Amino acid sequence: MALNDVSLSAGMRTNLINLQGTVSLLDRTQGRLASGKKVNSPLDNPTNYFAAQAHLNRASDLDSRKDGMNEAIQTVKAATNGIEGVKTLIESARGIAQSALSASATDRTTLAAQYDAILTQITNLAADSGYKGINLLASSGQLDVKFNEDGSNSLTIGGFDASAAGLTISTSATVGGGQGWADVGAGTANITASITDLSEALTTLRTQSQTLASNLNIVNIRADFTSSMINTLVGGADKLTAADMNEEGANMLMLQTRQSLSTTALSLSAQAAQSVLRLF
């Protein structure tokens, strides 16, 4: 409609403009009440909007890193569980070796087979201790944990070979330079050597377990710190953009009252124009 299609009196146009302004404010207040934010777009407050977006973007990046930390924690726990399993098997193997010291030649052969079977299970258990494709009980296992959003702060957790061969535990036939448990002259000494190998393997496992526990503690601390930082960033973004719901509710009541009064004023202005009809 062209501006000159309908002529309004000065009073009516002033009241109409005030009513339009009130409706605009009502729409804005309703939007704030619906979203809970006083800054919903750059048009509302570009400084606060983009600052809040920067906080939220960093929080999102850190949240992704936190997922990686949680996966790292599970990887280390899988390795720790594997170590505990290997230690239990070694204790069983040591018990068999100690029994073989006082066993007859026939019984020693049977015990040797049991001993070797446990060594095989040690190797198998170590091989099955991986998580998500990373096995810290293998010499090739390595876990890189990134802590901050650009990955510049990180921790590398190296693995070790927890197989029977990696722990330098010889089979009953190869211990003692190949003489083994069955050797008539050196059999007892070789069994004693196997017990020594098992004790040294336990020491190695305890040391590696302590190292993993220390690394796990670091990752847990960083994960907790990251959660706190995410909450801080989200809280900061909210403070920049969140609306005061009490204030906006009061604004809504006031604007509704103003709208009603503006409508009444516009109606009164129209009545002045309608008085011309009395001339006819």
Q: What pLDDT, in 10s, does the model give residues 101-110? A: 988 888 999 9
Q: What is the pLDDT of residues 202-213, one digit of tens each?
A: 999 999 999 999
Q: Which DSSP letter does residue 145 get?
A: E
Phi first, then psi, for residue 185 (nearest 5°) are -85, -40
Helix or strand holding residue 196 (H, E)? helix 187-241
pLDDT at 224 over 70: yes
Number of domains in the chain: 1
pLDDT at 276 over 70: no
- The CATH number of the domain holding residue 129 is 1.20.1330.10
**Are the C-beta atoms of residues 241 and 52 closer than 8 Å to each other?**
yes
Residue 269 lies in a domain: no
Residue 225: predicted pLDDT: 95
- Tokens of residue 219, six digits: 């990752």
Residue 105 lies in a domain: yes
| Mean pLDDT (the chain, rounded) | 85
- Tokens of residue 131, six digits: 């998580």
pLDDT band at 1 (very low <50, low <70, confident <90, very high): very low
For residue 16, CA distances in Å to 12, 33, 193, 235 come to 6, 26, 102, 41
The proportion of the chain whose per-residue pLDDT surpasses 90, expressed as a percent, equals 56
pLDDT at 229 over 60: yes
Residue 193: predicted pLDDT: 94
d(CA 167, CA 165): 5
* Threshold 0.85, pTM exceeds: no
Alpha carbon 185 to chain centroid, angstroms: 60
Give the least confident one: 10-19, 71-80, 147-156. 10-19
Bigger pLDDT: 31 or 92?
92
pLDDT at 168 over 90: yes
Which of 32-41, 92-101, 174-183 shows the highest mean pLDDT?
Answer: 92-101
Residue 201 lies in a domain: yes
pLDDT at 3 over 80: no
Bigger pLDDT: 118 or 24?
118
Bigger pLDDT: 58 or 182?
58
Bigger pLDDT: 102 or 217?
217
Residue 194 lies in a domain: yes
pLDDT band at 238 (very low <50, low <70, confident <90, very high): confident
- Count CB neighbours of 276 within 10 A: 8
Residue 17: predicted pLDDT: 73
Residue 111 lies in a domain: yes
Parent domain of 206: 73-219
Residue 213 lies in a domain: yes
* Strand partners of residue 242: 37
d(CA 27, CA 24): 5
DSSP string, 130-190: -BTTB-TTSTT-EEEEE-STTS-SEEEEE----STTTTT---TTTTTTTT-TT-TTTHHHH
Residue 238 lies in a domain: no
Residue 47 lies in a domain: no
pLDDT at 49 over 90: no
Please compute the mean of the pLDDT values over residues 240-252 and round it to a whole number.
69
Give the least confident one: 81-85, 116-120, 123-127, 187-191. 187-191
